[in-house]
C-alpha cells in the first residue's frame, strides 16, 4: 500500500519491512492503518535493534489497545503462542526481553519528548477531537517524530507469574469442561461466574 | 502448505480458506501448525456458520493458549482492535456474538463427545506424553473428528465490562506516563507494582 501523504517516508524500513509492506500487513491484520499501530511499530523496531538479532525474545505490552497488534504484526510473538503478554496498565509501553533470563528493554512514549510534536501529543492525550487530526496529518507526524518521542530503559522482567506451565488438565465437576487443575477445585468460570448466560435462561 | 498425512482432507474449507491456505496462515502467524489452532479453527468455522454471514461479531475466548491465535487467523477480530477478548478460565471455548446486542454462539469441546476420538481426547486432557502423539497422527485425528467433538449453545454475552470506552487520558503523577484516568489517581503499574524492575536498581 502506498499512501501519497507518506511519500517522504518511502525509504523507511520497519522491523525489516518496507513501509509499503508494513502498511499492507497492518491493514490486513488490524483492519485499518491505525496511528497507534504505526507508533507501536516504531517502538518495536527500536526495541528489536537494542536487544539485538541474536536474542530469542518475548514481549509484554502495557495496554490492550493497538500495541498488541503492532507486536503481532512486527514480531513472531502472539497472544496464542504465549510469547506476548498483555497487562492492562493503560500505558503505551512495550518490553522486549530475553525469554531465558528476563533481561530486556522497555520502550515507552515519553511525554516530555512528545510535546515537541504537537499533533502527535494532542492525539495521544486526546486533547483535540479525533477529526481535527485526519490520518494524512497524523501518520506523517508520527513518522516524522519517529524515535524522538520515545525513551527506553534496561529492565529485568519478573516472569515467574507467567512462566508457569499449564500443568495437569482436569474436568470441572461443575460444568464438565476441561480446565487446568492449578486453577482450583472448579474452573474459574464456575467459581467467579462467566461473561455470558445461556440465551434460554 | 501441503501435508501428505492430511491428504484425505484436501477439500476441507475452513473459514473460507482451503486447508492448504489455512495451514500456511497458521504457520505464518502462530509459528507452527499447532493442533490447538486447527481445533480452534474448526470451532470458529462452526460458530461463524451458526451466527451467519450478515452479523458483525466480536469474540471471547476462554483460554490464552492457542485459541486467541485461531481467532486472529480466521476472523477479523484481534486483541489490539479489541474485537477479541481473552478471559483466562482455562477452558477451550469460544463465543462469537453480535457486537451490537451481545447475542451469540458459544462453542466448546464436549468431553462426552471427545471421548469417541481417543487420540484427540488423550492429547486434549494430557493423558499421554506429547511424543506419543506426533502431528501426523494428531492432526488427521482432529480433522476426522471435526465438529463431532464440539457442542454449542446460544448465549447472551455481558459486554458492559469490556464495552467501556477508554475515556480521558491523563498523566500519572507517579511515573509521568499517560494512562486512562478511569483507572484511578495513579496508573495501575504504580498502584500495583509493575512486572519488571529497572536493570540498574
CB A120 within 8 A of CB A96: no
Q: Which residues contact B27 (CB under 8 A, 6 or more apart)?
A: B1, B33
pLDDT at B143: 98
Task: Calculate the CA A107 to chain-centre distance.
Answer: 11
ipTM above 0.95 for this complex: no
Q: What's the CATH code, domain B168-201?
A: 3.30.60.80
Digit-coded pLDDT (tens) for A117-159:
999 999 999 999 989 999 999 999 999 999 999 999 999 998 6
Query: Under an 8 A CB cutoff, do B154 and A70 touch?
Result: no
Grid cell of B168 as nine digits: 480521558
Q: How far is it, in rounded angstroms, from Cα B201 to Cα B197?
A: 7
pLDDT at A62: 95
Fold of A4-163: 60s Ribosomal Protein L30; Chain: A; (3.30.1330)
pLDDT at A195: 86
Longest dimension (CA), chain A: 61
**pTM (two decimals):** 0.93
> Which of A65, A79, A176 lies nearest to residue B68, judging by beta carbons?
A79
Residues of B in contact with A80 (CB under 8 A): 30, 37, 64-70, 72
Residue A168, classed as helix, strand or coil, is coil
Query: Under an 8 A CB cutoff, do A78 and B91 touch?
Result: no
pLDDT at B200: 73
- The answer to whether residue A33 neighbours chain B at the CB level (below 8 Å) is no
Digit-coded pLDDT (tens) for A85-102:
999 999 999 999 999 899
Query: Under an 8 A CB cutoff, do A124 and B169 touch?
Result: yes
CA distance to partner chain A, nearest, from residue B180 (Å): 6
pLDDT at B194: 86
Query: Under an 8 A CB cutoff, do A91 and B179 touch?
Result: yes
> Which of B155, B168, B177 lies nearest to residue A197, judging by beta carbons?
B155
Q: How far is it, in rounded angstroms, from Cα A178 to Cα A172?
A: 6
**How many C-alpha atoms does A138 have within 13 Å on its Cβ side?**
21
Query: Under an 8 A CB cutoff, do A178 and B109 touch?
Result: yes
CB B83 within 8 A of CB B54: no
Task: Calculate the CA A81 to chain-centre distance.
Answer: 14
Query: Under an 8 A CB cutoff, do B80 and A103 touch?
Result: no
Query: Under an 8 A CB cutoff, do A196 and B156 touch?
Result: yes
Which residue out of B40, B68, B79 would a mutagenesis test of the A interface target, given it has the greatest number of A Cβ atoms within 10 Å?
B79
Beta-strand pair B57-61/B84-86:
parallel
- The answer to whether residue A178 neighbours chain B at the CB level (below 8 Å) is yes
CB B83 within 8 A of CB B58: yes
Instruction: Write out residues in chain B with pLDDT < 70, as ranges.
Output: 159-165, 201
Digit-coded pLDDT (tens) for B40-62:
999 999 999 999 999 999 999 99
Q: Report the length, in residues, of chain B.
A: 201
Q: Which of residues 58-97 of A touch B (CB under 8 A)?
A: 60, 62, 64-70, 72, 76, 78-82, 86-93, 95, 97
Residues of A in contact with B62 (CB under 8 A): 189
Task: Provide the mean pLDDT of chain A.
Answer: 93
Q: How far is it, in rounded angstroms, from Cα A27 to Cα B32?
A: 23
Q: Which residues contact A74 (CB under 8 A, 6 or more apart)?
A: A14, A15, A17, A22, A40, A41, A44, A45, A48
Class of the CATH-defined domain A167-201: alpha beta
Which residue in A has a C-alpha nearest to residue B151's C-alpha?
Answer: A177
Q: How far is it, in rounded angstroms, from Cα B20 to Cα B24?
A: 6
pLDDT at A167: 83
Task: Name the residue ranges covered by the structural domains of chain B.
Answer: 4-163, 168-201
Amino acid at each position: 500500500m502506498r499512501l501519497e501523504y507518506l511519500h517522504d517516508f518511502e525509504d523507511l524500513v520497519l522491523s525489516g519491512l518496507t513501509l509499503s509492506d508494513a502498511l499492507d500487513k497492518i491493514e490486513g491484520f488490524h483492519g485499518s492503518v491505525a496511528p497507534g499501530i504505526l507508533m507501536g511499530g516504531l517502538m518495536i523496531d527500536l526495541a528489536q535493534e537494542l536487544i539485538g538479532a541474536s536474542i530469542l525474545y518475548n514481549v509484554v505490552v502495557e495496554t490492550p489497545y493497538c500495541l498488541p497488534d503492532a507486536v503481532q504484526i512486527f514480531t513472531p510473538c502472539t497472544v496464542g503462542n504465549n510469547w506476548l503478554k498483555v497487562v492492562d496498565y493503560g500505558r503505551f509501553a512495550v518490553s522486549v526481553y530475553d525469554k531465558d533470563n528476563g533481561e530486556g528493554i522497555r520502550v515507552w512514549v515519553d511525554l516530555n519528548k512528545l510535546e515537541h510534536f504537537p499533533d502527535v501529543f494532542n492525539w495521544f492525550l486526546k486533547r483535540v477531537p479525533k477529526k481535527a487530526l485526519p490520518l494524512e496529518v497524523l501518520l506523517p507526524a508520527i513518522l516524522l517524530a519517529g524515535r524522538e518521542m520515545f525513551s527506553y530503559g534496561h529492565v529485568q522482567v519478573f516472569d515467574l507469574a507467567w512462566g508457569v506451565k499449564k500443568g495437569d488438565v482436569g474436568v470441572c465437576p461443575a460444568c464438565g469442561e476441561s480446565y487446568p487443575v492449578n486453577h482450583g477445585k472448579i474452573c474459574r468460570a464456575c467459581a467467579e461466574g462467566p461473561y455470558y448466560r445461556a440465551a434460554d435462561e
